Structure 1
Amino acid sequence: MSRYWSDLVSDLSPYVAGEQPKIADLLKLNTNENPYGPSPKAIEAIRAAAGDRLKLYPDNESIALRDAIARLYGLDRNQVFVGNGSDEVLAHVFNGLFRHEGRSLWLPDITYSFYRSFCALFRIPVQLVPLADDYALNPADYTGPHAKPPAGIIFSNPNAPTGIAISLSDVESIARANPDTPVVVDEAYVDFGCESSVSLLKTCPNLVVVHTLSKSRSLAGLRVGYAMASPEIVEGLVRVKDSFNSYPLDTLAQAGAIAAIEDTDYFNQTCQAVVATRETLTHNLTALGFEVLPSKTNFVFARHPRHDAADLSRALRDQRILVRHFRQPRIDQFLRITVGTPDDCARLCKVLSGIVK
C-alpha cells in the first residue's frame, strides 16, 4: 500500500483477466477469443484508414459506426452508445445508472466477475442473487415484490462462465417487473445461439443491451463495444463518457468495426463454425465422463466427477494447453474451455483422454 494512494485504491480488488502467455506452441483456450480471424474486409478497412488522417482526432461521436449498428438492429442512432470495449461501456453504465444512495445492484452470484470490481470502484452496494442448483438464472428471483427497489439489475445472457441462457420472455418479465429500475443484459456471447433482447427496447424503456465485437466479430484486439437503449439512457451515458474521455474509439477502431458489422456473410459463417465445433466438443467431453452445462456461447463449462478441476488445469498446462479455472465457491470444480478450431478441440480431447483414463 502506497502513502500516495487514495482510500478508494486501497479498498479495490481489481478484475483478474485470463492469462495472456508469451509461450510458443501453446493452445490458448482460456479467454474465449474467436479461433477464426476478423473479417478480411475489416482488416482492409483498417489498412485504408491508417494514413495521413491519423494526425487528426477521430470522430468523437462515432456517427458512422453508430449508424451501422443502428441499421443492423433497426434502431435510431440516438439509441446506440459506443466505447472502448464492452468493459468500458459497462463501466459507464455502472457509474451512470447504478449509483443510487442506499440501494443495491442485483446480480447473480455466479457471473462475469468484473461486475463486482465495478461495484467496488464506484461504491455500489451489491445484492447477490443465487443461481439455481442447475446454475440457471431464475427470473422469479428478480420479479417478486421488493422491500426496496434495486438500484439496478444486471446479468449476462448467455451467462458467463456457465454458458446457460434464458429466454427472451424471461428477460422481458424481469424488465417489466422493474419498470423504474435499469435492467442491463450483457450479451457478449449472444451470437452463438441465443436470442438478443434488442427487440424488447420498443416496449421496455428501462432495458439496456450491451454487445462486444471481441467474440463473434473476432476483434478482441480492437476494443469496440456498444450499448443499445432508449435515447434518454444513451444521453446519460454520453454525459458520463464526455466527462471522462470524449474520444474513446480511435479512427482505426471505428473503420474496422464498421466493416466487420457490415460483413454479415463472414460473421454468419464463423459463428456457425464455432457452434458446430462446440457441439462436437460437448459430445467428446461427455464421452470422457465430463458433465458439460448446456452452452449457448463460444465456450463450454465442464467438470469431471473423479478429477479435481485445479489438477486437470495444471495437467493440461503441462501439455501446453491453457483453460480457465475459477477458484470460486460453487464452481471450483469446473473448467471453462474456449471453443477453438476442430483441430484445437481434437488436441484438447486427446490430451484429456490420457489424463482422465
Structure 2
Amino acid sequence: MSRFWSQVVRDLTPYVPGEQPKITNLIKLNTNENPFPPSPKVLAAIQAELGDDAARLRLYPDPNADLLKAAIAKHHGVTSQQIFVGNGSDEVLAHVFMALLKHEAPILFPDITYSFYPVYCGLYDVDYIQVPLAEDFTINPDDYLGQMWNGEQCGGIIFPNPNAPTGRLLPLAAIEKILKANPEAVVVVDEAYVDFGGETAIKLVDRYDNLLVVHTLSKSRSLAGMRVGFAVGHPALIEALERVKNSFNSYPLDRLAIVGAVAAMEDEAYFAQCCQSVIATRDTLTADLTKLGFEVLPSAANFIFARHPQYDAAELAKALRERNIIVRHFKLPRIDQFLRITVGTDGECKALTDALSQITA
C-alpha cells in the first residue's frame, strides 16, 4: 500500500482472473477457453488488413467499429443502433455499471455468480444486494419480481445466463417474467456462454426497453486472445454506453480485432460446428464423471460444475495439478467443494477422467 493511493484503490478487492501458467505439456481446463481455434477466415481477414507492409497500423481504427456492428446486427436480426462494442465483455460490463446501474437504489445479482460484479460495484460505488441461489443452484425468478429491498426499489438487475460458475440456465420465459416485473429498472443478461445450449434474450430487446444483453467473442467464437465483446439493447441504453466509452477510450477495438471479429461473426457454419462439438464433449464428460461418483450440475455452458461426496475439492484440484491438469476451484461458501472444469478436447477430457479415476480409486 502506498501513501499515494486514492481511497477508492485502498478499498478495492480486485477480481482474480483464472491462472495462465507457463507450464509445458499442460492440460488447461480452468479458464473456459474454447478448445478449438478461431475460424480460418479470422486469420485471413487479419492478414488482408495488414497487407504487405502493415502500413494500416499507423492509422487509428474506426472508433465506432461500424463493420463489426453491421455483422453483429445481421447475425442477431437487430439494427446497428442497438449495438455497443468494447474491448472484451468485461469492458462492456464496466461501462454498463457506470452508465446504467449506478443509481440511488441497490442493484441485485445472485450470491453465486460472476465475481467481477462486486468488484465493479466497489470501483463505481454501486450499492448491491446478493440474492441467494436456490438449493439446486438455480436462479429463482420470483426473487427478482420488483419487490422492495430494505424499503427501496432495486436500481437494476444483472446475472449471467447460463450462470457462472454453476452453468445452470434460466429459461427465456423466466427472464421475461423478471423484465415485466421491473419496467423501471435495467435488467442486464450476461450471455457469455449462451451459445453452448441456451436461448439468447436478444430476441426480446425490441419488446423491452429495459433489457440489455451482453456477449463476448472469447468463448463460442474462440477469440479470448483478441478481446471483443458487445451489448445489444434499446438505442437509448446504447447511447448511454457510448457516452461513457467516449469519455474513457474512444478507440477500444484495434483494426485487427475489428476485421477478425467480423470474420468470426460471418462464419456461421464454423461457429455452429464448434459449438456442437463442445456440447457433445460436455455430455460425454458429464456422463463419465457421473460414473466416477461425481455430482455434476446441469450445464448449458462450455464448462461443468462438479463435486464428489467423498473427496475434498481442493485436494482433487491439487492431485490433478500434480498430473499437469488444472481446473478452477473457488474457496467460497456453498461451492467450496465444487470444481469448475472447462470442456476441452475429447483427448483432454479423457485425460482428466483417467486421472480422476486413479485419484478416486
TM-score, normalised relative to structure 2: 0.98
Q: Distance in 1 between matches of 2:290 and 2:355?
A: 15
2:85 to 61, 82, 85: 82
Q: Which residue of 2 aligns with 1:230?
A: 234
Post-superposition shift, 1:145? 2.5
Q: Distance in 1 between matches of 2:298 and 2:95?
A: 31
Post-superposition shift, 1:74? 0.9
Q: Distance in 2 between matches of 1:77 and 1:202?
A: 13
Q: Distance in 2 between matches of 1:305 and 1:26?
A: 27
Q: What is the DSSP-based 3-state SS (H/G/I as helix, E as strand, rest coil) of the residue aligned with 2:270?
A: helix
Structure 1, residues 57-113: CA drift from partner, whole Å, max 9, x if none? 000010010011011111111100000000000000001011112x10100000000
1:346 to 341, 346, 350: 350
Q: Which residue of 2 aligns with 1:29?
A: 29
Post-superposition shift, 1:54? 1.0
Q: Distance in 2 between matches of 1:75 and 1:120?
A: 33
List aligned pairs for 1:188-337, cutoff 5 A. 188-337=192-341
Q: What is the DSSP-based 3-state SS (H/G/I as helix, E as strand, rest coil) of the residue aligned with 1:153?
A: strand
CA contact (8 A) 2:146 2:182 kept: no
Q: Distance in 1 between matches of 2:108 and 2:292?
A: 37
Q: Which residue of 1 aligns with 2:70?
A: 67
Q: What is the DSSP-based 3-state SS (H/G/I as helix, E as strand, rest coil) of the residue aligned with 1:336?
A: strand
Q: What is the DSSP-based 3-state SS (H/G/I as helix, E as strand, rest coil) of the residue aligned with 2:153?
A: coil
Post-superposition shift, 1:247? 0.2
Pairwise CA RMSD of aligned residues?
0.6
Q: Distance in 2 between matches of 1:75 and 1:165?
A: 24
2:164 to 160, 164, 173: 160
Post-superposition shift, 1:49? 1.2
Q: Distance in 1 between matches of 2:95 and 2:305?
A: 29
Q: Which residue of 2 aligns with 1:96?
A: 99
**2:7 aligned partner, one-letter code:** D
Post-superposition shift, 1:144? 4.8
**Structure 1 residue ranges, 4+ long, deviating more than 2 angstroms after superposition:** none
Q: What is the DSSP-based 3-state SS (H/G/I as helix, E as strand, rest coil) of the residue aligned with 1:154?
A: strand
Q: Distance in 1 between matches of 2:166 and 2:147?
A: 27
Q: Distance in 1 between matches of 2:19 and 2:76?
A: 34
Q: Which residue of 2 aligns with 1:40?
A: 40
Q: What is the DSSP-based 3-state SS (H/G/I as helix, E as strand, rest coil) of the residue aligned with 1:67?
A: helix
Q: Distance in 1 between matches of 2:313 and 2:97?
A: 33
Q: Where does the alignment leave 5 or more consecutive residues of structure 2 unmatched?
A: none
List aligned pairs for 1:170-185, cutoff 5 A. 170-185=174-189
Q: Percent identity?
A: 60
Q: Distance in 2 between matches of 1:282 and 1:48?
A: 41
Q: How many residues align?
A: 356
